[in-house]
Amino acid sequence: MDYREAGVDVEAGRAFVHKIRSLVQSTHRPEVLGGLGGFSGWFQLPTGYNEPVLVSGTDGVGTKLKLAFDMNCHNTVGIDLVAMCVNDVLTCGAEPLFFLDYLASGKLNQEQLTQVVDGVARGCRESGCALLGGETAEMPGFYQVGEYDLAGFCVGIVEKSQILDGSQVNVGDVAIALASGGIHSNGFSLVRKIVSDRGFNLHDKVDFSEGKSLGEVLLTPTRLYVKPVLAARKAGITIHSMAHITGGGLPENLPRCLPPGKSIQINSQAWDIPPIFQWLAEQGSVSRDSMFNTFNMGIGFVLLVPPEQAEETITYFESQAIAAYAIGEVIPGEGDLVGLLD
């Protein structure tokens, strides 16, 4: 016997690394040292920091991958993977520097996994971070043929004096919500149950999204907020705190950016909930509470800014083609969201 007979093709693995080399190199920043194929990735810290602090984050894509398998569409989940990590790192004000991925499959399918890495590289380019390296594991008998799993790891940097940790938040600060691109990468176990139990076909067109199938709408990748948010700070917009709206929705994630003794009064009529969420609620008979505690409901990221800069902040992000809404303000409290589910 040999390794190939056991289900692992080492030569195919080497060919895959060669195939994705140009994708990886397309993301490189000047600080990247060395090349692809070593035992580790090297990155020189950028200059210009007095007290640089490294910030790390890790995440995956979750069961959204099942829809990618069913649709045989693999070029967007890599964007999800990067976005879930870099958006988290961004919340403290950090700039993502580099990213690593872990890609495991039952049998290495070069065409399929190249699409995945193409999405990872695109997410990195759009976030300004380097795809520094990764790991591709072929694990026969562990994953079904045609399926894979993803994990991502990101490191960013921020000046110590510029860290956003919630302590800058004041009563009266306005919560500015940035629109999501769709469901992003959370709540897909419920999404898949609704689709399965109601017998929907992912390839069927939906009447609430022009020309797109249900599967295409569901696979819309997570929006990347890094460049516009960092550019807003450089443009003089004061941001006191930030939250990435992921699993658990607004009720779980928005309080994470508040200091002790503060809450947010939410105006639940301040934004229009996108049609995909209305469709899920109707087709699955999902309660309003469950919808808000599972999905982002059209809001992917929230900034807390001084009231005098609220309109300027909205105008700025709209100029970057990101819809923005004033959805509430900071009040004294115990870290809850007042009025969201009224």
Question: Which tens digits make up the pLDDT trace of 282-327?
Answer: 999 999 999 999 999 999 999 999 999 999 999 999 999 999 999 9
What are the CA-CA distances from residue 223 to residues 55, 298, 316, 317, 322 (Å)? 20, 11, 17, 13, 10
3-state SS class at 141:
coil
**CA distance to 46, 86, 137, per residue, from 55 (Å):** 14, 10, 26
Contact (Cβ atoms closer than 8 angstroms) between residue 307 and residue 265: no
- Confidence at residue 117, expressed as pLDDT on a 0 to 100 scale: 96
How far is the C-alpha of 341 from the C-alpha of 267, rounded, in Å? Answer: 10
CB atoms within 10 A of CB 237: 18
pLDDT the model gives residue 11:
81
H/E stretch holding 95 reads strand 95-105
**pTM, whole model, 2 decimals?**
0.95
Per run of 10 residues, the mean pLDDT along the chain (length 342 residues) is 74 82 91 85 94 98 97 97 98 98 94 96 97 93 92 98 96 98 97 96 90 95 98 96 97 96 96 96 96 97 98 97 97 94 78
> What pLDDT shows up at residue 116?
97
Q: What pLDDT does residue 271 have? A: 96
Domains of the chain: 10-162 (3.30.1330.10), 174-338 (3.90.650.10)
pLDDT in the model for residue 37 = 76
- Residue 133 and residue 40 in contact, taking contact as beta carbons nearer than 8 Å: yes
> What is the model's pLDDT at position 252?
96
- Give the containing element (helix H, strand E) for 268: none
32: which residues sit within 8 A by CB, 6+ positions away? 41, 42, 43, 44, 98, 130, 132
Q: In the prediction, which pLDDT does 34 show?
A: 83
Whole-angstrom distance, CA of residue 151 vs CA of residue 103: 7
